[in-house]
Amino acid sequence: AKEPVRVLVTGAAGQIGYALVPMIARGVMLGADQPVILHMLDIPPAAEALNGVKMELLDAAFPLLKGIVATTDVVEACTGVSVAVMVGGFPRKDGMERKDVMSKNVSIYKSQASALEAHAAPSCKVLVVANPANTNALILKEFAPSIPEKNITCLTRLDHNRALGQIAEKLNVQVTDVRNAIIWGNHSSTQYPDVNHATVKTPSGEKPVRELVADDEWLNTEFISTVQQRGAAIIKARKQSSALSAASSACDHIRDWVLGTPEGTYVSMGVYSDGSYGVPAGLIYSFPVTCSGGEWTIVQGLPIDEFSRKKMDATAQELSEEKTLAYSCLN
């Protein structure tokens, strides 16, 4: 039998946490043959709720779940973890300035970076979910210099899956037959959902999405804004932000990273830019990637038209501004 893997979920008493921990305990993230020990971190005001989640995990009698650490101590939470899913953060409240929210999250991610660096397994893979996800991941990277930069990522897989879902709905095909959509840039409304390289499996072979949809107007306007604004649409409908889809996509992100992407398929991940596609190096930016042997690689050589270029640059610009704002909070 395999040795259990320790998986950290921060913000585990929150809504995404509540959807995510049972998925991890069921093997959705790391595989049906991989035992896990869940480390759950939250802050003292949520300690009682966190204990309630722990009680439910015990009650569910998950066969793969070999242990539970539920704590408000960041060092205890980070010790020995090989996967860290960072869902905890400070939410934007009505009337708060962007800078105030950024400042709170910068201080959270700075201190959690230090704890991970000092206490996590050396090869720990980190996924930041909490917003501003890209910039929180960048701060985490800056303050955990001994964690390889390849091991620090942020979640744009939910946006990627939303894009696949919209195309499947439009064409009335199975979502599993649609692949290679791309989310470029920030996990925010400036993200660029790009289907120029996406395809659909049909009885007569793999066909480009653009050819099958045959409605460039829809693809260039409504499709893009629907994906960009989906988070807001869920909040409007549910009065709470996306949770089950965020949790499921976080599992997809880690599973593909650890176990590999299928041949010929790429997925979107927020990763440290090396300057590929003219994106400024030193930002955490969402790119198309393939994964193999536990490492992601940015898909190279995709042709970029002028329409895409503008949108990729606009979201890069927003990330550069967020980076400047984040650094101005570091005092």
Interacting residue ranges for ligand NAX, rule: CB under 6 A: 10-11, 13-17, 41-43, 46, 87-91, 108, 129-131, 133, 155, 158, 187, 231, 241-243, 246
| Residue 160 beta carbon to ligand NAX: minimum distance, rounded to whole angstroms | 10
3-state secondary structure of 137: helix
Closer Cβ to ligand NAX, 173 or 234, answer by number? 234
| Residue 165 beta carbon to ligand NAX: minimum distance, rounded to whole angstroms | 14
Closer Cβ to ligand NAX, 5 or 41, answer by number? 41
Q: In the structure encoding, which two tokens stand for residue 24, read together? A: 């991890």
Q: In the structure encoding, which two tokens stand for residue 23, read together? A: 């998925």
- Please compute Rg for the chain using Cα positions: 19
Nearest residue to ligand NAX, scored by beta-carbon proximity: 14
Determine if residue 121 is labeled as part of a ligand binding site: no
Determine if residue 13 is labeled as part of a ligand binding site: yes
With beta carbons less than 8 A apart as the criterion, state whether 170 and 147 touch. no
Determine if residue 191 is labeled as part of a ligand binding site: no
Q: 132: cis peptide before it, omega within 30°?
A: yes
**Catalytic residue numbers, as ranges:** 187
Q: Which DSSP string do the residues of 177-206 spell out, in sequence order?
A: GEE--EEEB-SSTT-EEE-TT-EEEETTEE
Residue 287's contacts (CB-CB under 8 Å, 6 or more residues apart) are: 182, 184, 268, 269, 271, 273, 276, 277, 279, 298, 299
Q: In the structure encoding, which two tokens stand for residue 133, read together? A: 């996800």
With beta carbons less than 8 A apart as the criterion, state whether 163 and 227 touch. yes
* Torsion on CA atoms 78, 80, 85, 90, rounded to nearest 10: 0
Closer Cβ to ligand NAX, 147 or 269, answer by number? 269
Q: In the structure encoding, which two tokens stand for residue 190, read together? A: 């400036």
| Residue 129 beta carbon to ligand NAX: minimum distance, rounded to whole angstroms | 5
Burial of 145 (0-12, 13-18, 19+ CB in 10 A): exposed
Determine if residue 11 is labeled as part of a ligand binding site: yes
| Residue 12 beta carbon to ligand NAX: minimum distance, rounded to whole angstroms | 7
Determine if residue 49 is labeled as part of a ligand binding site: no
| Residue 130 beta carbon to ligand NAX: minimum distance, rounded to whole angstroms | 4
Determine if residue 16 is labeled as part of a ligand binding site: yes
3-state secondary structure of 141: helix
Closer Cβ to ligand NAX, 90 or 272, answer by number? 90
| Residue 306 beta carbon to ligand NAX: minimum distance, rounded to whole angstroms | 28
Residue 278: CB atoms within 10 A of its CB come to 11
**d(Cα 297, Cα 277) in Å, to the nearest integer?**
13
Distances (CA, A) of 330 to 105, 146, 239, 320, 326: 11, 20, 33, 16, 7
Determine if residue 144 is labeled as part of a ligand binding site: no
- Known binding-site residues equal 11-17, 42, 92, 98, 105, 129-131, 162
- Known binding-site residues for substrate equal 92, 98, 131, 162
